[in-house]
Amino acid sequence: MLSFEPSPELDALITRVKAFMSEVVFPLEREIAQRPFLACEPELAAVRERVKAEGLWAPQVPKEYGGLGLDFRQHATLSEELGRSPLGHYLFGCQAPDAGNMEILHLFGTAAQKQEWLVPLARGEFRSCFSMTEPDLAGSNPTWLATTARREGDEYVIDGRKWFTTAADGARVAIVMAVTNPDAAHYARASMILVPTSTPGFRQVRKISVMGEEGSGWASHSEIAYEGCRVPVSNRLGDEGAGFMIAQERLGPGRIHHCMRWIGICERSFDLMCDRVAKRELSPGRPLGTRQMVQDWVAESRAEIDAARLLVQHAAWKIDRVGSHEARTEVSCIKFYVAGVLQRVLDRALQAHGALGMTDDTPIASFFRHERAARIYDGPDEVHKASVARRILRGYGLEVGSVGKG
């Protein structure tokens, strides 16, 4: 049965996380936003230690690796609370891209890979990144890559260029998608390979300025050149040619978590908007919230956020019942629908704050800058809409091919 009632244990956990967010995390936001993130990482490490001491660290990581071992629906619920702050997931050890990397290391890593990479990643001892998208080929077609990993004896030699490798700045290891089997079918050409960033030939070309902000450390996106990077064949994750399949595995439940994080951002922005319109007076005794146009923002936002959450919970429930593959229509629907709700709610919250909305005195402007990308990463809206429509229309006898074929 589809139930929205969290268990008493999850409820208690959420209460504790909420308290930590209000008492410790929200007050940190403004100061951290004004300094380079990389410079703040040592200071944030102390807060992460507090999270560990409180027994709240790495909610999605299995207990054997030091996490709370929540299942993915429980973690999705928690993700909404953490999403209320840009720092939430980072401080609790479940930030992208590390969370997804840990997941695939757990599912596909060898015992040695788990020992070398998963154990310290789960403890938050260093960071990782995921290097798939290339500047010269459409990332919307993930089976089309120019980066190659040529086999020479017991080594792969990797050559290519990637960009938007999130959090590469200061990361210890990259998981790279590279073509190992150029003559195989389009979905079986690439493999995932662990490349320590200290490997000769790994070169961070630049941090890419995004919406006027270059960022640093975890909060940045880099262009990376792989120039004759040599790593042992034993650094391959999973089978040769299984890279695309593993990427799909990484993205399915990952999209549920992104969506719940976005709902957290919506709720925080909604809260700030309501507080502002209840207090900001247009003239004595007449706050903004007395205007019907503003009431429309409040009502539309409430309905859209609640609809988005229900849709995500339903998709999560379906994944639990029939698996990610069978639930791909639902997962694609939430990816574009919730990203759209996020843009609209953020826009209304920013508008309601007037000039203050454009400043970094509230987190809204930062959310606005960074989360425009929600409609692009993990599959742009158009790709998800096309794949939903293709599957529906197939039921009506219309076969439409996808761009990835051939």
Residue of this chain nearest to ligand FAD (CB atom): 139
What is the distance between the alpha carbons of residues 99 and 176, in angstroms, rounded to a whole number?
A: 16
Q: For the CB of residue 330, give the shortest distance to ligand FAD in the complex, in Å.
A: 20
Q: For the CB of residue 163, give the shortest distance to ligand FAD in the complex, in Å.
A: 8
Among candidate residues 226, 231, 244, 229, the one with its CA nearest the CA of residue 161: 226
Q: For the CB of residue 138, give the shortest distance to ligand FAD in the complex, in Å.
A: 3
Beta carbons of 195 and 176 less than 8 angstroms apart? yes
- CB closer to ligand FAD out of 140 and 199: 140
What is the distance between the alpha carbons of residues 223 and 131, in angstroms, rounded to a whole number?
A: 9
- CB closer to ligand FAD out of 65 and 377: 377
CA 319, distance to chain mean position in Å, is 18
Residue ranges that bind ligand FAD, judged by CB under 6 A = 97, 130-133, 138-140, 164-166, 221, 373, 376-377, 380, 382-383, 386, 403
Beta carbons of 252 and 330 less than 8 angstroms apart? no
Alpha-carbon distances of 158 from 129, 161, 168, 202, 388, rounded to whole Å: 16, 10, 17, 9, 35
What is the distance between the alpha carbons of residues 86 and 366, in angstroms, rounded to a whole number?
A: 8
Q: For the CB of residue 127, give the shortest distance to ligand FAD in the complex, in Å.
A: 12
How do strand 190-196 and strand 155-166 relate by DSSP bridges? unpaired
Q: For the CB of residue 381, give the shortest distance to ligand FAD in the complex, in Å.
A: 6
- CB closer to ligand FAD out of 123 and 390: 390
DSSP 3-state assignment of 282?
strand
The CA R_g of the chain, rounded to the nearest whole Å, is 22
Q: For the CB of residue 162, give the shortest distance to ligand FAD in the complex, in Å.
A: 6
Q: Across the chain, how many H-helices and E-strands are there?
A: 14, 11
What is the distance between the alpha carbons of residues 282 and 390, in angstroms, rounded to a whole number?
A: 50
- CB closer to ligand FAD out of 26 and 377: 377
- CB closer to ligand FAD out of 73 and 328: 328
- CB closer to ligand FAD out of 220 and 269: 220
- CB closer to ligand FAD out of 146 and 376: 376
Q: For the CB of residue 20, give the shortest distance to ligand FAD in the complex, in Å.
A: 27
- CB closer to ligand FAD out of 233 and 251: 251
What is the distance between the alpha carbons of residues 194 and 129, in angstroms, rounded to a whole number?
A: 10
Q: For the CB of residue 142, give the shortest distance to ligand FAD in the complex, in Å.
A: 7
Element (H, E) at 322: helix 292-322
- CB closer to ligand FAD out of 126 and 377: 377
- CB closer to ligand FAD out of 66 and 238: 238
Beta carbons of 59 and 94 less than 8 angstroms apart? yes
Q: For the CB of residue 313, give the shortest distance to ligand FAD in the complex, in Å.
A: 25
Q: For the CB of residue 133, give the shortest distance to ligand FAD in the complex, in Å.
A: 3
For 228, counting Cβ atoms within 10 Å of its Cβ (0-12 exposed, 13-18 middle, 19+ buried), the class is exposed
What contacts 372, CB < 8 A, 6 or more positions away? 211, 343
